[in-house]
Amino acid sequence: MDNLAYVLPQTNPLASELPLLQAEQLSQWFAPGKGFAPLDLSLYRGEVLAIVGESGSGKTTLLKALSGRLTPQQGQVLYRHGEQAANLYQISEAQRRNIMRQDFGIVHQHPMDGLRPRISAGGNIGERLMEVGWRHYGDIRAQAKSWLSAVEIDIDRIDDLPITFSGGMAQRLQIARNLVTHPKVVFMDEPTGGLDVSVQARLLDLIRKLVSELQLAVVIVTHDLAVARLLAHRIMVMKQGEVVEAGLTDRVLDDPQHPYTQLLVSSVLQQ
Amino acid sequence: MEPFMMAKNISKSFVLHNQGGVELKVLQGHDFSVASGECVVLSGSSGSGKSSLLRSLYGNYQVNQGEILVKHNDAWLDLARAEPRQILQLRRHTLGWVSQFLRVIPRLSALDIVMQPQLDVGIPHQQAETKACELLTHLNVPEHLWHLAPATFSGGEQQRVNIARGFALDYPLLLLDEPTASLDEHNANQVISLIHRAKANGAAIVGIFHDTWVRDQVADRIYPMQAAH
């Protein structure tokens, strides 16, 4: 029976697939404890990666560097689309803008950072479509309506300004604005951060559903381990700019190896 | 018989860094295998490492030593060293798990919870729903609960939703962590019949069963365990 292991080939059926997004020796180190130390990271289609850690651990800086919004001091970010791999910080500004507009979505913690307050809800969604070439008003409005209902906003609110929306509703609008162009990768920074618990649950469930239906690749920054457990396939734990532990979400949370991860996990109140 | 899963010389300890670096040895030098169509029951007193072994076999605990080989796509995958997404793929298609408790997802109905693993592997909605309804009926989950989120269900009802979810796909390898713990005799018997059916379909099963009478009905073999030290 021992020999059996050698009879069958020890192959990796997934080896042929290349990561959608890949960071190599990426670093942005302002000062000790500010930014993040060199790290490697891969993200595949349909995969959700959570970056957890306390405030000041470099999570948000890393998210910016990964999403094309912050030129890193060191290392590179590769984005594969079609047959090509673009090195985000070596291509031209115009090419990078193009990738970010067509293929990336960014969900900010504060919805108003990602919305236009003086444009209607429908306009907020439609604007993204116009940026990628949609011109027909009827089509754009129809698409906006369909996305409002996908994120559970009453379509009667289509002409209202986002500043009249509640926090949870505005966050859902921000998600609709991001997903309407069918991005390949969505970056989320504490998307449930400032929301009431009941609103959080609804939003998380919505994100979970959309991620799986659209097969999105997601990088989500959160300090909430419950959010990570619910949404993420993999988790990366950061402390003072360094990755101290990474792996399968349930493995990291149920069998944490690093002292800091153990501290984080044991600090959560049992429900 | 040819094994479907083999654990070779696996050991596991916990190091509690924030409690003086205490090291707790939970598994030491286990050799273990299970074949298709066979049910192996882990047996031992409380603290003998049954749950830790089962969790290690699922990739939920990281063993410190040894190999855990599972047949997957006609190759052996070593769970102790596999990439996270290999483990996830294995869990999606090959390796099923029924825990003692249902981890409730807000707002998801009982029916959706049972359908989810089937939808994840591309089974059409209608077919997944039929199978889910059949299992919930078999496990006596009242029909008026199917469209409700299980957060408010009783412990036994939650557990039966959990079991339905675990049996909704015909996993070639199924790990059961006290699936009958909070069930009455009638419902425990319903679970036993699901286990028999899975075995007849060729599933390899590893389980922990607290009740001797349940164990006697499902076990082909007992794997005795003692606390590591």
pLDDT digits (tens, 9 = 90+) for A213-236: 888 999 999 989 999 999 999 999
The verdict on a CB contact (< 8 Å) between A201 and B107 is: yes
- Residue A7, chain B, CB below 8 Å: the answer is no
DSSP state of B181: T
- Model ipTM? 0.93
How much is the average pLDDT of A27-41?
87
Q: From CA A271, how far away is CA A120, in angstroms rounded?
A: 40
Q: From CA A139, how far away is CA A144, in angstroms rounded?
A: 9
Q: Which residues of B fall within a CB distance of 8 Å from A259?
A: 17-18
- Residue B23, chain A, CB below 8 Å: the answer is no
pLDDT of residue A201: 82
How much is the average pLDDT of A246-259?
96
Q: How confident is the model at residue A270 (pLDDT cuts 50, 70, 90)?
A: low
Q: How confident is the model at residue A12 (pLDDT cuts 50, 70, 90)?
A: very low
Q: How confident is the model at residue A269 (pLDDT cuts 50, 70, 90)?
A: low
Nearest CA in chain B to A6: B76
Q: From CA A239, how far away is CA B69, in angstroms rounded?
A: 33
User: Is the pLDDT score of A94 beyond 50?
Assistant: yes
pLDDT of residue B200: 96
- Residue B2, chain A, CB below 8 Å: the answer is yes
- 10-residue mean pLDDT profile of chain B (229 residues): values are 92 93 94 96 93 96 97 91 94 92 81 93 95 98 95 91 95 95 93 97 96 95 89
pTM: 0.91
- Residue B73, chain A, CB below 8 Å: the answer is yes
Q: What is the mean pLDDT of chain A?
A: 89
A-B interface: how many C-beta pairs under 8 angstroms? 84
pLDDT of residue A83: 80
Token reading at A206: 């919505």
> Best residue in B76, B89, B112, B118 to probe A by mutation, most A CBs within 10 Å?
B76
Q: From CA A218, how far away is CA A187, in angstroms rounded?
A: 6
Q: Which residues of A fall within a CB distance of 8 Å from B76?
A: 4-5, 8, 10
Token reading at A39: 């790290």
Q: From CA A255, how far away is CA A233, in angstroms rounded?
A: 15
pLDDT of residue A195: 81
Round to the nearest angstrom and report the end-to-end CA distance of chain A. 45
- Residue A250, chain B, CB below 8 Å: the answer is yes
Closest in B16, B62, B74 to A8, CB measured: B74
User: Is the pLDDT score of A14 beyond 60?
Assistant: no
User: Is the pLDDT score of A193 beyond 90?
Assistant: no
Lowest mean pLDDT among A28-32, A73-77, A187-191: A28-32
Percentage of chain A beyond pLDDT 70 is: 92
User: Is the pLDDT score of A82 beyond 60?
Assistant: yes
